[in-house]
Amino acid sequence: MSSASEAHASDGHHDDHGDHHHELPFWKKYIFSTDHKMIGIQYGITALLFLAFGFYLMMVMRWSIAYPHEPLPGWMSWFLSDDWKARWLQDGKVTGETYNMFGAMHGTIMVFLGIVPLGFAAFGNFVTPLQIGAIDMAFPKLNMASYWLYLLGGLVMIGSFFVESGAAKSGWTNYSPLAGFADSQIVNQFLAGQTQWLLGMVFLISSSLLGAVNFLTTIINLRARGLTWMRLPFFVWAMLVTGFLLLLAFPPLEVAALMQLMDRTAGSSFFMPSGLYTKTAGLLEASGSGSPLLYQHLFWFLGHPEVYVLLLPAIACVAEIIPTNTRKPLWGYKSMVYAVIVLGFLSFIVWAHHMYLTGMGPVVSNFFQTTTVLISIPSVILLTSMLISLWGGSIRFNQPMLWAAAFIPMFGIGGLTGLPLAFNLVDLHLHDTYYVIGHFHYVVAPGVLFGLFAGIYHWYPKITGRHMSNFLGHLHFWPSLIFMNLLFFPMLVQGMAGFHRRWYNGGDAYLSKASDSVNIFGNTVAEWLWLNPVMSWAAWLLAAAQIPFFINFWTSIWWGKKIKNDNPWDATTLEWSTPTPPPHGNFTYDVNVYRGPYEYSREDHEGDFYPQWEAPKRDEPAEEPAKKPVA
C-alpha cells in the first residue's frame, strides 16, 4: 500500500478527465515549456550554472587576496581572451578595479541569479504544485515568461563583463554616489557595466514579480480537495511567505534601480549630493541635492527580506527531509507555521540594521536594534523545532539527510554570529569587516546551499526515477563540510582583528606598517595574514569537491539506481503519489487529501507512514475531517 499507483488502483476511482498524453515537439517540451516541472528544472540548471560562475569569480578574488603579487595561475585564466586579460589584468595580476568588478558581480550573481532562482524558483516550481495536488501553476504562460526574463536579466549581467567599462564594480549593493559616477566616462551609457547591472536588475525584478504572483495564486486557489491550510506541508507555507516577501520587497529596489538609471542616463541627481567631488570625474556636473541615504533605505528595504527569500526555501527543504528520514512527525508544525509568518512580517521592519554607520540617529537605531533582536525569536523557533524533530527518531542517514543534518549547526553558526551585529555598538567595530562576510556566508553557503543540496538529493529520484550515487554523494558531502568551515570560520577571526572586507590584496599593505595612532590595525592584521592562503586553498578545494556532485548529477540520470516505486523514501506528501517522472498534468487519479502532512509512525496505523492521499479504511476511526471539503 505504499505506492501511489497501488493506492490509486485500490481506491477504484477512475479519472475520466485524465489528460491524454500528447507528445510535444522538443522545443515545446524542453525549451518553451509551460509545464511547472520543466520550468523548475530549467531554473535549477540555469541557477547551478550561475552559481558555478559566481564561484569562479570568488576563486579569482581569493587568489588576489592570498597571492596579490603573483599572476593569476593558468588554470584560472586559460579560457580568457588575450584582449580581455590585457584590459583587466596587470602583468597577469588581479588589479583593484578587476577585484571590485568580480566582487560586485560575485555578490549579485550568487544572490539574484543563483540562490533565489535555485531555492524559490526551481524547488518552488517543481515541488509546490505537486505538494498541493495541482495539475500546474495558476498561470503557466506567466511562469514561462518569468524564466525567460530571468535568463535575459542574467545574460545582460554576464554580457557586461565584455563591454569596454567592464561589469559593475560598486559592490553588490551598488551604493550611490559611488555607483553613480562609476563608469560615467562612458559616452553611451547603455554600454556601461553599471547601467547594464541596473537593466539586468529590472529584468530580474520583473521576473520575480511574475513568479511571486503565480506562486501565491497557485497556493491560495489550486489546493486539492481536503488540503486545508493546516494540512499544507511546511514547504508550501515557506513558499507562501517567500512569495509575499518577493512581491512586496522587490518593488522598492526596482524604484531604486529606476532612479539610479535616471541618474545615469537622464542626468538627474536622485542619489548625488551637492558639491560631490571625485578624483575621476571632478566636480559633479549635475544639479546635486540628492540623497545617498535614500538609496540605502530603498535598497535595504528589499535587502533584508531578501535574506529570508534566500533562507526560507532551504528551511523548507530541510523541514520536508527531516520527518521523512526520522520517521516521525515534524515537531511543532503549527508553531513553525506561525513562526514563519511572523518572520516574514518582521523581516520588513529590520532593514536599517545594515545602516548603523550612516548616522541615522539613536532613535531610529534603537528601533531597528529592537526589531532585529525580535526577529531572532521566530528564527530560533524554526531551527529548534527541526532540531527537536531529530530527537528519538530512527534516523536514516541517506544523502539528503546528511545535508539536512549538517544544515542545522551550520545555519546555527550563521545565525548566532549575526546576534552581535544586531547591536550598533558592536557593529561599529565589526561593520564592513570579514566578520560580516563570515556571518552571512555561514548563513548562505553552508546554511542555505546545504539545505538546497539536501533538496536536490531528496527530489532527484522523483525528477528522474533514479537515485544519485551514494558513494559520490559522500565524496561531495564530507569535503564540502570541511572546506566550507575552513573557508568561512577564519573570516570571523580575521574580521575581529580588523580585516576590511574590500581589500583586494588581503591586507598585504599592512604587513610592513607598524601600528601607530592612525594605523591601529597594523599589528593584528599582520598577525592573521597567514590565514589568507589557508582560506583560499579551502575555497579552491571546495570547488574540487563539487566535481563529484557534477558527475553524480549528470550520470545518475542514466546510470543511477532505479527507484523501487513511485515513493522511494516512503514519504507522506502528495508529490510522491504521482507517476515518476510526473507527466504533464501530474496526477493520474482524483486527488483527495485526508490528513496532515507528517503522519509518520502512527500507532493506530500499520506501517510507519500514512500518506496524505490514502483513504482511511472503513473500520478505522474517522480522521479529523477537513472543515469544508471543496468541490
Partner 1 sequence: MEIPYTFTARKDTGLFNSKIGIWLFLASEVMLFGGLFSGYVFLRLYADYPWPERALPVLPGLINTFVLIGSSVTVVFAWASLKMRQWGRFQFFMGITIFCAVIFMVLKGLEYNAKWHHQAVRLDDFTILEGHTHKAELDERGHLHIHHEHGAEPTEEEKKRQFPANVVVVEAEEINFTLVRAHDPYVKDILAKAKERGAVPVLADNAFFYGSPKDLPIDAAERKKLEDQLIKSHASGKEAVRFGDKKDSLYIPKDTQLTVDLLDRAEDVYLEARAINGEVRTKVLRKLWKDAREADKEDLPNFKLAEGIQIDPEEHLTGLVAEAPSALTFTFEKPVALHFKRSLIREGEGSSKLKDDTIIKGAVASSPMGLAVDAVDLRWVAQRAHEQGKDPKTVIEGLWIMENPEFKEIWERHSAQLAILTEELKKDGREPTENDKYRIDWQDLVAFHRAHEKHLEPGSPEVADLRPGMFEGITGPNHKIEENQHAFFSIDIPNEKVGFESLFTPKWNNYYAIYFTLTGLHGLHVVGGALVLAYYMFFSKGLYRRNPEWLANRVEIGGLFWHFVDLVWIFLFPILYLM
Give 279: exposed, middle or buried? Use CB within 10 Å, 0-12, 13-18, 19+.
exposed
In 415-501, the DSSP E strands lie at none
Toward partner 1, which CB reaches closer, 201 or 286? Answer: 286
Region binding partner 1 by CB under 8 A among candidate stretches 3-11, 387-395, 404-412, 528-536: 528-536
Cα–Cα distance between 548 and 156 in angstroms, integer?
Answer: 31
238 near 312, Cβ under 8 Å? yes
Answer for the pair 454, 403: CB distance below 8 angstroms, yes or no. yes
Comparing CA positions, the residue from 193, 8, 188 lying closest to residue 88 is 193
For residue 213, the minimal CB distance to partner 1 (Å) is 5
Among 209, 211, 458, which residue's Cα sits nearest to residue 319? 458
Among 222, 475, 486, 541, binds partner 1 (CB under 8 A): 222
User: According to CB under 8 A, which residues from 559 to 588 bind partner 1?
Assistant: 584-585
434 contributes a contact to partner 1 by CB under 8 A: no
| Stretch touching partner 1 by CB under 8 A, among 152-160, 293-301, 361-369, 419-427 | 293-301
Which DSSP string corresponds to 513-528?
Answer: PPP-SS-TTHHHHHHH
Residues 155, 388, 419, 630: which binds partner 1 (CB under 8 A)?
630
CB of 227 to partner 1, least distance (A): 11
Record the cell numbers describing residue 99, joined without a space.
577585484
DSSP 232-244: S-HHHHHHHHHHH
Selected from 112, 123, 203, 270, the binder of partner 1 by CB under 8 A is: 270
Asked if 291 is part of the footprint of partner 1 (rule: CB under 8 A), the reply reads yes
| Other residues' Cβ atoms within 10 Å of the Cβ of residue 11 | 14
The residue (of 259 and 352) whose beta carbon lies closer to partner 1 is 259
Least distance to partner 1, CB of residue 280, Å: 11
Nearer to partner 1, 132 or 492 (CB): 132
Using the minimum distance from each CB to partner 1, give the nearer residue, 72 or 452. Answer: 72
- Site for partner 1, residues 445 to 484, rule: CB under 8 A: none
User: Which grid coordinates belong to 474?
Assistant: 559522500
> What's the per-residue H, E or C state across 597-611?
CCCECCCCCCCCECC
Quick one: 251 or 420, whose CB is closer to partner 1?
A: 251
Q: Which is nearer to partner 1, 506 or 548 (CB)?
A: 506
Under the binding rule (CB under 8 A), the answer on residue 13 touching partner 1 is no
State in angstroms the smallest separation of the CB of 263 from partner 1.
8
Window contacting partner 1 (CB under 8 A); options: 246-254, 326-334, 384-392, 414-422: 246-254
Q: Give the shortest CB-450-to-partner 1 separation in angstroms.
A: 31
In terms of Cα–Cα distance, which of 414, 399, 419 is closest to 447? 414
Residues in 85-114 at the binding interface with partner 1, rule: CB under 8 A: 85-87, 89, 91-93
Q: Report the site for partner 1 in 532-561 (rule: CB under 8 A).
A: 532-533
- CA separation, residue 460 to residues 6, 52, 349, 464, 574 (Å): 22, 20, 37, 6, 16
Question: Which is nearer to partner 1, 248 or 463 (by Cβ)?
Answer: 248
Question: Residue 592: phi, psi to the nearest 5?
Answer: -130, 135
Continuous H helices in 270-328: 292-326
Residues from 178 through 217 that contact partner 1 (CB under 8 A): 185, 187-188, 209, 212-214, 216-217
| Binders in 116-145 for partner 1, by CB under 8 A | 135-140
- The CA distance from 527 to 455, in Å, is 41
Nearer to partner 1, 183 or 614 (CB): 183
Does residue number 301 form part of the binding site for partner 1 (CB under 8 A)? yes
What is the C-alpha separation between 193 and 278, in angstroms, rounded? 19
- Residue count at the site for partner 1 (CB under 8 A)? 80
Q: Does 289 bind partner 1 (CB under 8 A)?
A: yes
- Name which position in 145, 258, 342, 482 contacts partner 1 (CB under 8 A): 258
- Are 254 and 262 in contact by the 8 Å Cβ rule? The answer is no
Per-residue x/- mask for partner 1, residues 485 to 524, rule CB under 8 A? ---------------------x-x--xx------------
> What minimum distance in Å lies between the beta carbon of 155 and partner 1?
23
**CB nearer to partner 1: pick between 52 and 191:** 191
Dist. CA 251–CA 75, nearest whole Å: 41
Q: How many helices (H) and strands (E) does the chain have?
A: 22, 4
In angstroms, give the least distance from the CB of 68 to partner 1: 7
446, 405 in Cβ contact below 8 A? no
Residues 46 to 85 in contact with partner 1, rule: CB under 8 A: 66-71, 81-83, 85
Residue 432 burial (C-beta neighbours within 10 Å; 0-12, 13-18, 19+): middle
Among 10, 49, 155, 164, binds partner 1 (CB under 8 A): 164
